[in-house]
């Protein structure tokens, strides 16, 4: 039986058995969720030993307090929630690693843009904002949702209560009008 297939009745029986200190139930819990907890921790910690410790600590926590399961979620979700807090605790207990900057000072280059470059970028951003304001509301909203909010076209269509084809048309005309406005102001 896979972890995501644990039924509600089975979960309650397993937790009841854990509360009775049935070691077979603990082995069963480990068999069902141990690998999933370990992989969950390993993905976040990138350290096999600490991931193993999180898995053991999580199972021990469930063993000690099976009565804390309220049934608001699946058993596996509850157990992974416990693992999440164990992972956060492990991350907090890691020492902060600092490197001596003097090792790198000869190789550090100043990649900061020049004042002129920053001024040009700011002026361009202001021009684009003015040109965006010149678009009709539907085109402006469509461009904002796609390019700034990074929503897929289907989601934009749902939010604007229009077919996806209409969103594509609004994007086409909005980009064309925006480009024309920018070119007109840049030339003049």
For 54-100, the pLDDT digits (tens) are: 999 999 999 999 999 988 888 988 999 999 999 999 988 887 766 66
**CB 59, CB 26: distance < 8 Å:** yes
Query: What span, in angstroms and rounded, lies between the C-alpha atoms of 29 and 34?
Result: 7
Do both 137 and 171 map to the same domain?
A: yes
Same domain, 62 and 135: no
Same domain for 76 and 146, yes or no, is no
Whether 99 maps to a domain, the answer reads: no
DSSP string, 79-124: HHHHHHHHHHHHHHHSPPP---GGGTTTT----PPPHHHHHHHHHH
Are residues 80 and 120 both part of a single domain?
no
pTM confidence score: 0.50
Q: Would you mind telling me the total number of residues written for the chain in this entry?
A: 188
- Range(s) of the domain holding residue 155: 115-187
Domain count, the chain: 2
Residue 137 is assigned to a structural domain of this protein = yes
């Amino acid at each position: 039986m896979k972890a995501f297939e644990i039924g509600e009745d089975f979960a309650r029986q397993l937790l009841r058995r854990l509360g009775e200190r049935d070691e077979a139930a603990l082995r069963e819990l480990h068999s069902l969720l141990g690998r999933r907890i370990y992989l969950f921790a390993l993905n976040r910690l990138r350290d096999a030993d600490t991931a193993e410790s999180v898995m053991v600590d999580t199972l021990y926590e469930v063993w000690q307090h099976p009565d804390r399961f309220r049934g608001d979620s699946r058993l596996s979700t509850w157990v992974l929630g416990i693992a999440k807090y164990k992972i956060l605790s492990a991350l907090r207990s890691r020492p902060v690693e600092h490197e001596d900057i003097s090792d790198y000072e000869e190789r550090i280059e100043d990649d900061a843009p020049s004042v002129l470059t920053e001024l040009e970028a700011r002026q361009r951003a202001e021009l684009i904002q003015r040109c965006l304001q010149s678009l009709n509301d539907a085109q402006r909203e469509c461009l904002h949702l796609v390019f700034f909010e990074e929503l897929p076209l289907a989601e934009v269509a749902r939010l604007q209560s229009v077919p996806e084809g209409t969103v594509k048309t609004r994007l086409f005309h909005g980009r064309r009008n925006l480009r024309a406005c920018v070119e007109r102001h840049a030339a003049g």
